[in-house]
Amino acid sequence: GEDVEQSLFLSVREGDSSVINCTYTDSSSTYLYWYKQEPGAGLQLLTYIFSNMDMKQDQRLTVLLNKKDKHLSLRIADTQTGDSAIYFCAETSGTGNQFYFGTGTSLTVIP
């Protein structure tokens, strides 16, 4: 469960939807996470999904999970300039005691 991959950059126009993608490797991960990091700051937990779910919606955020392909995505509806940040997906180790993070996707929202 140590290879979590994300594309590095994404630019969208304000008001459009953003979709950030992630592939992971550990099929035993119980939970998968999305974190947001603003410049110089720590990580903010945005949402997580239990591995037996396909989709989770939380206000402007929609998480889709395809366990067969080990693919996770985060959709942000009506993207705002305040959404500009780096987004990390993460999976847990088999013990659940470690989080493995991707390299992060830098989202830039163009006004």
Positions in the binding site for other proteins (CB under 8 A):
4, 30-31, 35, 40-45, 48, 88, 90, 92, 95-104
Which C-beta is closer to other proteins: that of 14 or that of 84?
A: 84
**Token pair in block for residue 53:** 């779910």
In the complex, the smallest distance separating the C-beta of residue 35 from other proteins, rounded to whole angstroms, is 8
Residue 57 C-beta-side C-alpha neighbours within 13 Å = 3
Contact 35, 88 (CB under 8 A): yes
Cβ 104 to other proteins, closest distance in Å?
5
* Min dist. Cβ of residue 41 to other proteins (A): 6
Closest to other proteins by CB, 44 or 66: 44
* In the complex, least distance from residue 16 CB atom to other proteins, rounded to whole angstroms: 25
Q: Which is nearer to other proteins, 18 or 104 (CB)?
A: 104
Q: How far apart are alpha carbons 85 and 30 in whole angstroms? A: 26
Q: Which residues contact 101 (CB under 8 A, 6 or more apart)?
A: 4, 35, 88, 89, 90
